[in-house]
Structure 1
Amino acid sequence: MGLTLVAFGVITPPATAQAAASDTDVLGVSQSATGPLNPALGMPSAEASRTDRATTQGPIVNVPSCSESDLQAAIGAVAAVGGTVNLKPGCTYTLTDAAPPNDDNGLPVITSTVTINGNGDTITRAASAANFRFFQVNGSNGNLTLNSLTLSNGHASSSLGNGRGGAIWLSGSGPELMLNNTILTTNTADTFGGAVDNDNGTLTVNGSVLRNNTAAAGGALFVSPFGGSGTASVSTSTIIGNHARTLAGGIAAAVGTTVTLSSSVVSGNDVTGSNALGGGIAQAGTITLQTSTVTGNTATGTNAQGGGIYNLTGTVRLTDSPVTGNTTNGTNSRGGGIVNTASGNTTLTRSPVTKNQALGTGADAGGIFRASGTVTLNVSPVVLNQPNNCGNPSTVPGCS
């Protein structure tokens, strides 16, 4: 695929959203200047400062119908000044084209504090339409909340833009996104973040589902700091059945990011390709899982590593969070459950690693593979993994 993990680093983005032709590292993925999956990834410069979030009042706009034009007009009325949009209950809003002049966005760019109440509605991109994501949340005043809404079939294309965020892209310095009881499904990003790409912003996910999204890296979520800090908090939510072509079927997090999952499930995600890393999660920042589950994720291909979790240089903390039934499959595959390498530090507390598999010729460490760094087990049994628990010989202290 031309994408090789070097270090989970970030780059200083160019001033425009269009792809350039230079080689850079983003989340440790070496970007080749050739091939459809290898653009140099950037973002637009932040918009001029708008209104202070704390004082934004803004209009309340009720969308009168299920039409694309009414939806675009309603969101356009609040995108730059702030306000609330109430969708008409029971609607499926089918978008046929991006709203000019937003290029690869199907809806106006959000640069102020906006709440959209979905009332169980769906916004989808028509199958025959040009490729576009739905929302771009831009700059320090960009703040979007989605309530009870489904976004489906968005496609952030590298041929039309930078391919980031199949449904939503957080760009510029310090944007915010909150998803409440929201479903992001069957969205595609040619580069990063099949559902959401969060670059230097704050993402909060509550009671939501990110399902069957696809990207080169970060099938569901991609979090990066771009010189600042990128954060994501996921609570009582499900990351399920997402796909990546090189890195992190579920969640990808770069150096300098902080990701927290509580009472959530990362399940059935997959990454496929030579040197596939992290079927469920691949990360180099700090990620904390509390009362969450990493289960049934897969990394497939020669030298596949970390069916459940791949930790490069960062810190992984699992508390009451089992890692079970994950798989690596391919020649010399490693760590069906977890891989810890470079200067990574993984600590498990009351978090069993069970029934994971490393399959294929020369496969090793069905449970945990420690190439380097540290792995600490606190009341966390590593058992019933195949072909062995922690390598032959074991690479993890306290595991046989």
Structure 2
Amino acid sequence: MSRRHVPAILGLVAGALVAVPAPAAHAAAVMVRCSVPDLVEAINVANSSPGPDTLRLAHKCTYQLTAPDPASPGNGLPEIRSEITIDGRDATITRDKKAPKFRILFVAGTGNLTLDRTTIKSGFAVDCPFFEDQFPGIVCGGGISNTGTMKVTRSKFIGNTSQSDVFAQGGAIDNPGTGSVSETEVTGNHVVYSGSDIGGGAAGAAIANDGPLTVTRSRLTGNIATVTKDTQSFAFGAGIISFAETTVKDTVISKNRSFAPGGFARAAVSNGIPEPGRLTVTGGAITHNTSDAPHGFAQGGGIANNALMTVSKVKISGNRAVAEGGTARGGGVRVGPFGTLDLTDSHITGNTVDAPNGTAQGGGLDNPDGGTLTARRNKVLRNTVTAKGGTAQGGGLYHAGGPAGLGTTTLEENTITHNRAGDGGGIFKASGVLTLNGDVIRDNEPNNCSPAGAVPGCTG
């Protein structure tokens, strides 16, 4: 589903003498007054002109959109169809909350948008151009939907929404094209499944990626994914959902919430479906996120992986998986039945799982359904599993082989200490293959590993 744009580099060398061509002429930056009609006109002119164009917005201006673009009513501004740079100069482009619903920007397949120092605010998506022919009813990208090429730098996405009664994704940013986001704040955005049918979904309250996409030195905070109560629907990836190749570097993903009463709430950082394309997270922090599914299934507070994933040097702390009267698993990290996760040199600390009158498992790490987890040189500390009136197992790690018994967890040189659960304070192994190699497992409550003798090399 992704687009590929391959830049060409041309050189000219002829005989003994080299003719050096003059630099290509570039139009000067266009100064856009603090006026929505002027901004609309500037985009239309840039789309129709050859070569790249730069639109320089009025410093700290608020461009308030009161109506959608007549030619593309799902969008507030004209489609980006050529190579355009918007130099925001700390300006804001926002939808008037009394206006009809529309996203702010759409990048067409031929478009190449660079967005710098711009706030995109209060967009409200009503369609999804990339999927509308194959999957009518999907809604995506409340702030921006990119099907071409997109580069976002030093910008903000605040209070954008994607809502559908079928499937909604990308509350702030939806990227089926080729994209990058750097030094950008994505906060207070929403993705909502509002239908009544069984099995709907809301994915990626901040960012949804059908890729490829790179996110660097950014902050995804306070975003919310919700679904209709008791529809057995899925709210997942309140920070970021990956359906294709995704790289996240040195980024803070914090205080996001997936809420699915009677359904499935999955972590702030999620892989969508088991298909080619690895989600790689390096550096940064995944902290204080919540997956809440009363009378349902909370699957991962910080990370939920069900495809290919690599995590290295990440602080995963203070995350919660909560399911009153249901099943809650993986406060820090959860590996699904099709997941393969390589986890190295990270801190998984202070995460909690709580399921009053239900089942709670895997405070720090959870691999319950047949996935593959390889963990090296991590610190799994002070994670907690509670279930008043229910079952609480695996404070540091819960492992089971899944229905076929094929799940594997390989631990090498990890420290698993001061974790707490009803049973298996350090590790609870229900079935499958779990191996230790140089790990330190001590000072967990009420025991280090359970059932007794289930984990070779671990006692207590």
The question of a shared fold, defined as TM-score above 0.5 by the shorter chain, is answered with yes
Instruction: Confirm or deny that 1:321 pairs with 2:342.
Output: no
| Superposition pairs of residues 280-291 of structure 1, within 5 angstroms | 280-291=302-313
Which sits farther off after the overlay, 382-391 or 108-117?
A: 108-117
Which of 388, 393, 409 in structure 2 is aligned with 1:375? 409
| Superposition pairs of residues 66-81 of structure 1, within 5 angstroms | 66-78=34-46
Question: Does the C-alpha gap of structure 1 residues 92 and 266 become closer, same or farther in structure 2, counting only changes over 3 Å?
Answer: farther
SS of equivalent residue, structure 2 residue 428: coil
| Superposition pairs of residues 85-234 of structure 1, within 5 angstroms | 85-139=55-109, 142-158=148-164, 163-171=168-176, 175-190=177-192, 191-199=202-210, 201-215=211-225, 216-224=235-243, 230-234=244-248
* Cα offsets for 1:319-373 (capped at 9, x unmatched): 2111111111112111121211333211122111111111212121121111221
Which of 362, 366, 372 in structure 1 is aligned with 2:391? 362
Q: Considering Cα pairs closer than 8 Å and 6+ residues apart, tell me whether 1 or 2 has the greater RCO.
A: 1
Q: 1:252 matched to which residue of 2?
A: 270
Using the size of structure 1 for normalisation, the TM-score is 0.76
Question: Does the C-alpha gap of structure 1 residues 311 and 90 become closer, same or farther in structure 2, counting only changes over 3 Å?
Answer: same
**What is the letter of the counterpart of residue 165 of structure 1?**
G
Aligned-residue offset at 1:248: 2.9
* Cα offsets for 1:181-227 (capped at 9, x unmatched): 1111111122221112112x211112111111122321121221xxx
Is the CA contact 2:400–2:429 (under 8 Å) kept in the aligned structure 1? no
Could you say which structure has the higher strand fraction?
2
Hey, what's the Cα distance between the residues in 1 that align with 2:430 and 2:71?
A: 60
Aligned length: 344
Name which one, 1 or 2, has greater alpha-carbon Rg.
2
Is the CA contact 2:32–2:42 (under 8 Å) kept in the aligned structure 1? no
Q: 1:310 matched to which residue of 2?
A: 334
Hey, what's the Cα distance between the residues in 2 that align with 1:69 and 1:140?
A: 23
**What is the letter of the counterpart of residue 359 of structure 1?**
T
Hey, what's the Cα distance between the residues in 1 that align with 2:418 and 2:25?
A: 57
Q: 1:64 matched to which residue of 2?
A: 32
Hey, what's the Cα distance between the residues in 2 that align with 1:186 and 1:59?
A: 37
Is the CA contact 1:114–1:145 (under 8 Å) kept in the aligned structure 2? no
* Cα offsets for 1:134-181 (capped at 9, x unmatched): 34445486001112111111111215x95321112223xxx1111121
SS of equivalent residue, structure 1 residue 99: coil
Hey, what's the Cα distance between the residues in 1 that align with 2:381 and 2:47?
A: 48
Using the size of structure 2 for normalisation, the TM-score is 0.67
Aligned-residue offset at 1:289: 1.6
Q: 2:120 matched to which residue of 1?
A: none
**What is the letter of the counterpart of residue 104 of structure 2?**
F
Hey, what's the Cα distance between the residues in 2 that align with 1:77 and 1:197?
A: 30
Is the CA contact 1:119–1:147 (under 8 Å) kept in the aligned structure 2? no
Question: Does the C-alpha gap of structure 1 residues 249 and 314 become closer, same or farther in structure 2, counting only changes over 3 Å?
Answer: closer
**What is the letter of the counterpart of residue 178 of structure 1?**
S
Is the CA contact 1:117–1:146 (under 8 Å) kept in the aligned structure 2? no
Which of 298, 303, 320 in structure 2 is aligned with 1:276? 298
Instruction: Confirm or deny that 1:390 pairs with 2:427.
Output: yes
Structure 2 unaligned regions, length at least 5: 10-23, 112-147, 193-201, 226-234, 402-406, 442-448, 450-460
Aligned-residue offset at 1:76: 4.7
Hey, what's the Cα distance between the residues in 1 that align with 2:427 and 2:31?
A: 57
Which sits farther off after the overlay, 357-366 or 66-75?
A: 66-75
**What is the letter of the counterpart of residue 296 of structure 1?**
G
Runs of at least 4 residues off by over 6 Å:
55-58, 392-395
CA RMSD after TM alignment: 3.1
SS of equivalent residue, structure 2 residue 329: coil
Hey, what's the Cα distance between the residues in 2 that align with 1:71 and 1:63?
A: 9
Q: 2:229 matched to which residue of 1?
A: none
Which of 347, 352, 369 in structure 1 is aligned with 2:379? 352
SS of equivalent residue, structure 1 residue 397: strand
Aligned-residue offset at 1:272: 1.0
Hey, what's the Cα distance between the residues in 2 that align with 1:325 and 1:123?
A: 39
| Superposition pairs of residues 331-350 of structure 1, within 5 angstroms | 331-350=358-377
- Calculate percent identity across the aligned residue pairs: 30
SS of equivalent residue, structure 1 residue 391: strand
Question: Does the C-alpha gap of structure 1 residues 314 and 52 become closer, same or farther in structure 2, counting only changes over 3 Å?
Answer: closer
